[in-house]
Amino acid sequence: MADDTHDIILIGGGVIGLAVGWSLAQAGRGVAVVERGQLGQGASQAAAGMLAAGIETEPSEEGLLPLTRAAQALWPDFAAKLEAASGHSLHYRTEGSMVIALTRDDREWLQRLARFQGKCGVELEFLTPSQARQREPALTPNLTAALYSRQDHQVENRALAPALAVALRRAGGIIYDHSAAELICDHGRCVGVRRRHSDGSSQDMLAARVILAAGAWSRDLVGLPAAARPPVRPIKGQMLAVQMDAAAPLLRQVVWTQNIYLVPRDDGRLLIGATIEEKGFDPHVTAGGLFGLLEAAWRALPAIEDLPVVESWVGHRPGSPDDAPILGEIQAGLGADGLILATGHHRNGILLTPITAQLIADFVRQGEMADLGQKFSPRRFY
């Protein structure tokens, strides 16, 4: 028996579920977010927080560029509003990002990348090795070339979910954490969510709209009919952090090589990431994973040799078959009519948070997906 009625229920308290919820709550809608563990504990916690619509665009990803660019343009205002609404700093940083080449082969790769990104309209500056080292003196003297992207900023992604939670609650939203959601469907229509508590008890909640934002776990939602399951899979990523002197950091901007990236944080941590592995939900940090990251990082920034390793972790990116997000209502007739998906953000979910919130909230309010979001419809997979 349902004993609780809501306007909109979001399944998943990562950055996507919380940001969509905040956007809808600001528009006056009644929002409840259901998270089975702690808020932001999934990929949102594991990410590097790069907002890299430019440098990260690779051949075959041109189709994603209008969305990532739109997201990048929204970020400064989104960050300022979220900081004001929550009172939390997001450590939004605007130094830009650099890609460096360490060998002649690397330089050719960099030139190919620059040609491709130039064709896509990404604004990049070529730097000579000495210009690159003027910007970042601790980089190896073995540089052969570098590219600089002014607009590729970064944010402390671990600050994001807590800030969104405060802002959502202040806007009137409700959060149920530590309770797993199951979908309730009736006569082929999705009508609500059952909250399952750790002691096995449950509570049914009816809703006008249910939005699935459960990241890499979106396919496994209990109660979701088999035909309606989104083609989302976990893509494992390992990372580690070393501690720099926060007052005199070795690095001030994000630096990419062909194999890894280095992300300096305000508190002096330097993140080194990330592996990309098809290993399901394997939770292990491995010797091989760390070795690969550290070796490549040491080649780029030899002075990390003496820095203490302070953390290592694993996260699971919500991957989709075309590496693009899945946004909008699933088609009718699959047993869960009316269900909205906001998942599959793969390695760009932090960057895509504000644009996802905007597109999904507008869709809920207006019943139509904006042009920008149409090609990311779930219908492309069913």
Ligand X SMILES: Cc1cc2nc3c(=O)[nH]c(=O)nc-3n(C[C@H](O)[C@H](O)[C@H](O)COP(=O)(O)OP(=O)(O)OC[C@H]3O[C@@H](n4cnc5c(N)ncnc54)[C@H](O)[C@@H]3O)c2cc1C
| Secondary structure letter of residue 20 according to DSSP | H
CB atoms within 10 A of CB 222: 10
152 binding ligand X? (CB under 6 A): no
| Cβ pair 230, 217 in contact under 8 A | no
- The residues in 122-151 that bind ligand X, with binding defined as CB under 6 A, are none
Instruction: Closer to ligand X by CB, 12 or 96: give it.
Output: 12
Binding status of residue 21 toward ligand X by CB under 6 A: no
The tokens describing 53, both together, are 């619509």
Show the site string, 299-338: x = touches ligand X by CB under 6 A, - = not: ----------------xxxx--------------------
Smallest distance from ligand X to CB 311, Å:
12
Residues 233 and 88: their CA atoms lie apart, in Å, by 32
The answer to the question of residue 14 lying near ligand X (CB under 6 A) is yes
Stretch that binds ligand X, among 30-38, 120-128, 201-209, 243-251 (CB under 6 A): 30-38
Does residue 273 bind ligand X (CB under 6 A)? yes
Q: Which is nearer to ligand X, 93 or 317 (CB)?
A: 317
Please, are residues 211 and 38 in contact by the beta-carbon 8 Å criterion? no
Q: Is 274 in the site for ligand X (CB under 6 A)?
A: yes
Q: Among 64, 165, 221, 301, which residue sits at the site for ligand X (rule: CB under 6 A)? A: 221
Contact at 8 Å (CB) between 310 and 269? yes
Among residues 129 and 376, whose Cβ is nearest to ligand X?
Answer: 376
Nearest distance in Å: CB 380, ligand X: 18
Strands (E) in 177-246, as ranges, are 180-186, 189-196, 202-212, 233-243
The verdict on 228 binding ligand X (CB under 6 A) reads no
Angle at 317 between CA 216 and CA 179, to 5 degrees: 40
Pick between residue 129 and residue 335 the one whose CB is nearest to ligand X: 335
What is the H or E stretch that residue 343 is in? strand 340-343
DSSP annotation of 331? P
User: 7, 30 in Cβ contact below 8 A?
Assistant: yes
Q: Which stretch binds ligand X (CB under 6 A): 8-16, 245-253, 285-293, 368-376?
A: 8-16
Q: Does 96 bind ligand X (CB under 6 A)?
A: no
Q: Residue with structure tokens 């979106």?
A: 218
Within 33-92, which residues bind ligand X (CB under 6 A)? 34-37, 41-44, 46-50
- Answer whether 382's CB lies under 8 Å from 231's CB: no
Q: Scanning residues 331 to 370, which ones bind ligand X (CB under 6 A)?
A: 343, 345-351
- Cα-Cα end-to-end distance for the chain: 31
Helix (H) or strand (E) holding 291: helix 287-300
Binding site for ligand X (CB under 6 A): 11-17, 34-37, 41-44, 46-50, 180-181, 213-217, 221, 237, 239, 273-274, 315-318, 343, 345-351
